[in-house]
């Protein structure tokens, strides 16, 4: 049974939600971050890494291995970095550095937050970066590699509207969805994505038959949406 989880990219919306989900499922959650997390649980260990170029040496010194699951939500947009080189470095190189360092320590299961459209990225830099990471992750031959292809997240106002509408009933929820004018692929909240990622790891650990050794498992946006809907309908 895996008792530890290690997460990089915990400062984003999904990363923050995932850190909280993992804290419920694992005895120890290791966060690698360049900024102070907003919420810390008693079983979290925070590693402040100012320069991700030292990722390999930082992870080498950690007590992780076959008892650890690795998660990455690391990614930035062009508006968050100063150059295209930095964009590629954060989105691709640091993700791969993290994955290779975890693999070297004996981690066997890896969960990566990707983006819908990596099958045909065309000229989209973000999709190209995600596609590159997906490709190289496959070459590392993790026992379990799960790739979550997210289409879009709800905006803060959308999430607030849905939460309030859900309290008022089904008709109000339908009206809210109409007012928000969702696209064909309904966006997910960060909490829904995080729940799906954490649940996938939980199922892999408790049902070994679900694992696909040396083969990537793709979880589409539609599958995540179904999982979130199923969880919402489940009795509390």
Q: Are residues 85 and 173 in the same domain?
A: no
Instruction: Check residue 181 and give left, alpha or beta (phi > 0: left; psi -120 to 50: alpha).
Output: left
Q: Are the C-beta atoms of residues 148 and 219 closer than 8 Å to each other?
A: yes
- Residue 178: the pLDDT is 44
Q: Are residues 170 and 53 in the same domain?
A: no
Per-residue confidence band for 156, with pLDDT thresholds at 50, 70 and 90? low
Alpha carbons within 13 angstroms on the beta-carbon side of residue 144 total 25
pTM over 0.75: yes
Q: Are residues 41 and 83 in the same domain?
A: yes
Q: How far is CA 216 from CA 27, 80, 138, 146, 147, in A?
A: 26, 29, 7, 6, 7
Say which residue, 137 or 234, is predicted with more confidence. Answer: 137
Residue 59 lies in a domain: yes
Average pLDDT score over the chain = 87
pLDDT tens-digit readout, 218-235: 999 999 999 887 766 665
**Residue 22 pLDDT more than 60?**
yes
Residue 62 lies in a domain: yes
Q: Are residues 100 and 146 in the same domain?
A: yes
Q: Are residues 143 and 159 in the same domain?
A: no
Say which residue, 60 or 168, is predicted with more confidence. Answer: 60
**Residue 164 pLDDT more than 80?**
no
Say which residue, 216 or 233, is predicted with more confidence. Answer: 216
Q: How far is CA 59 from CA 89, 101, 104, in A?
A: 18, 6, 9
Q: Are residues 71 and 140 in the same domain?
A: yes
Q: Are residues 58 and 173 in the same domain?
A: no
Which CATH number belongs to the domain containing residue 112 in this structure?
3.40.50.720
Mention every residue, 6+ apart, whose C-beta is less than 8 A from residue 155.
187
Q: Are residues 65 and 161 in the same domain?
A: no
pLDDT tens-digit readout, 27-39: 999 999 988 777 7
**Residue 125 pLDDT more than 50?**
yes
Residue range(s) defining the domain that contains residue 162 = 154-187
Q: Are residues 102 and 163 in the same domain?
A: no
Q: Are residues 32 and 66 in the same domain?
A: yes
- Residue 83: the pLDDT is 95
Residues 93 and 218: their CA atoms lie apart, in Å, by 21
Instruction: Give me the helix-helix angle, 125-139 and 94-104, nearest 10°.
Output: 20
Quote the radius of gyration of the chain (alpha carbons, Å). 18
Q: Are the C-beta atoms of residues 181 and 113 closer than 8 Å to each other?
A: no
Mention every residue, 6+ apart, whose C-beta is less than 8 A from residue 147.
112, 114, 134, 137, 216, 217, 218, 219
Residues 186 and 152: their CA atoms lie apart, in Å, by 8
Instruction: Say how many domains are in the chain.
Output: 2
Q: Are residues 28 and 141 in the same domain?
A: yes
Q: Are residues 135 and 201 in the same domain?
A: yes
Say which residue, 32 or 176, is predicted with more confidence. Answer: 32
* Percentage of the chain exceeding pLDDT 70: 83
- Residue 167: the pLDDT is 52
**Residue 176 pLDDT more than 50?**
no
- Residue 230: the pLDDT is 74
Count CB neighbours of 222 within 10 A.
13
């Amino acid at each position: 049974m895996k008792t530890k989880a290690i997460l990089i990219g915990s400062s984003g919306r999904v990363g923050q939600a995932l850190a909280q989900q993992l804290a419920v499922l694992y005895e120890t959650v290791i966060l690698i971050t360049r900024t102070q997390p907003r919420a810390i649980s008693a079983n979290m260990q925070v590693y402040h890494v100012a320069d991700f170029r030292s990722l390999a040496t930082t992870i080498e010194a950690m007590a992780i291995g076959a008892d650890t699951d690795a998660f990455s939500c690391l990614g930035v947009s062009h508006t968050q970095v100063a150059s295209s080189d930095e964009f590629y470095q954060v989105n691709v190189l640091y993700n791969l550095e993290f994955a290779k360092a975890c693999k070297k320590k004996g981690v066997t299961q890896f969960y990566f937050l990707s983006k819908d459209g990596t099958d045909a990225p065309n000229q989209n830099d973000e999709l190209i970066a995600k596609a590159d990471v997906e490709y190289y992750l496959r070459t590392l031959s993790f026992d379990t590699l799960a790739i979550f292809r997210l289409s879009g997240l709800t905006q803060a106002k959308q999430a607030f509207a849905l939460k309030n509408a859900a309290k008022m009933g089904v008709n109000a929820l339908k009206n809210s969805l109409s007012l928000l004018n969702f696209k064909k692929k309904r966006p997910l909240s960060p909490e829904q994505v995080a729940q799906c990622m954490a649940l996938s790891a939980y199922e892999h650990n408790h049902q070994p038959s679900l694992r696909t050794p040396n083969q990537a498992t793709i979880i589409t946006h539609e599958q995540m949406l179904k999982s979130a809907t199923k969880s919402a309908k489940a009795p509390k």
